[in-house]
Amino acid sequence: MTKRGGKKPTKKTAATKPVRATDAAAEFRLNLTFGESRRPVTVLAPMTPLDLTELLPILQQFDNEVVSLAEEETARVGKPISCCAGCGACCRQLVPVAPSEARRLSALVASMDDERRATIQRRFADAVDAYERAGLLDRLATAHQLPDEQARGELGVEYFRVDVACPFLENESCGIYPDRPLACREFLVTSPAENCRDPGPDNIERVKMPAQLSETLYRFGPTGERQPAEWIPLVMSLRRAEQKADSQLPRQPGGEFVQKFLSQLSGGRRP
Ligand code: SF4
Ligand code: SF4
């Protein structure tokens, strides 16, 4: 079990051209549809040059709308969501993050006060040690290359059995809730919360999403080009960011990034 993937959405509608663009900002309007629920969403992006890590807050906000629509439709069909604060069994699962998310999480940790930063860094180091002792580290580093969902699922089960909490988990709640990765936002269940302590394909019912922004992000290259999926487990974020510390990400106007992202999300070609 990993915090990845999910069933295909039933329907989505995405606009890939801005309705309004000035020198300062581009505005995109989308009409998301999911089942019988509908939601107009506006995505605003600055035209100042951003790198991919700086684009993430815009994608996170957009993802919040997508997830909220999924919650609305799930409630409409009478299936209450089991997830709530203080319920963190799923935060022991393999959480995939895009390279840009790894960089952003690393910067977030670097910005924490000394005491918290030291605590979180120690938890990351302990987690990596635990997966190394379990003989999983090399496989985790290349997990994005696994051939299919079944192979990823099997690795996810092995990962979960090591039983290490996400370094950001505090009292069974997310300690970085506004900044959590897209995969965490998109992981909601309607199955009983206790099932998450022993998750498997037969006892976990995930909430379908109208669109899977996380999956698009894994394939979204540094300049917005489509690339083979690339992600790493969240617990390897600091190590990965350290390895890439010398490399600068390219920058381009935020509006152009968003236009490319929406095009890929809707299955279209890069504009
Ligand atoms: S119900 Fe499961 S997926 Fe939802 S917050 Fe609790 S442990 Fe996580
Ligand atoms: S980032 Fe937050 S929500 Fe995601 S696994 Fe870690 S503690 Fe859980």
DSSP notation for 171-215: TTEETTGGG--HHHHT--B-S-GGGGGS--TTT--BPP-S--HHH
- Dump pLDDT digits (tens) for 187-217: 999 999 999 999 888 899 999 999 999 999 9
Q: Find residue 38's DSSP bridge partners.
A: 33
Query: Which mutation among 168, 184, 188 tests ligand 1's pocket best, with the greatest number of atoms within 8 A of CB?
Result: 188
Confidence of residue 90 (pLDDT cuts 50, 70, 90): very high
Query: Which mutation among 1, 87, 184, 198 tests ligand 1's pocket best, with the greatest number of atoms within 8 A of CB?
Result: 87
pLDDT at 247: 87
pLDDT at 270: 34
CA distance 99 to 233: 10
Residue bearing the CA closest to ligand 2, atom 4: 184
- Give the CB-side neighbour count of residue 223, counting CA atoms within 13 A: 3
Find the 48 Cα to ligand 2 centroid distance in Å. Answer: 30
CA distance 171 to 236: 22
Find the 122 Cα to ligand 2 centroid distance in Å. Answer: 16
Query: Which mutation among 91, 109, 170 tests ligand 2's pocket best, with the greatest number of atoms within 8 A of CB?
Result: 91
**E strand or H helix that includes residue 243:** helix 237-243
User: What is the distance in angstroms between the CA of the first residue and the CA of the last residue of the chain?
Assistant: 35
Give me the phi and psi of 68, to 5 degrees please.
-65, -40
Model pTM?
Answer: 0.92
For the cut 60, the answer to whether the pLDDT of residue 7 exceeds it is no
- Dump pLDDT digits (tens) for 219-247: 999 999 999 999 999 999 999 999 888 78
Confidence of residue 15 (pLDDT cuts 50, 70, 90): low
Nearest ligand atom owner, CA of 188 = 1
pLDDT at 2: 67
pLDDT at 34: 96
pLDDT at 8: 47
For the cut 50, the answer to whether the pLDDT of residue 44 exceeds it is yes
Ligand 1 pocket by Cβ (under 6 Å) = 82-83, 87, 89-90, 187, 189, 193, 196
Find the 47 Cα to ligand 2 centroid distance in Å. Answer: 31
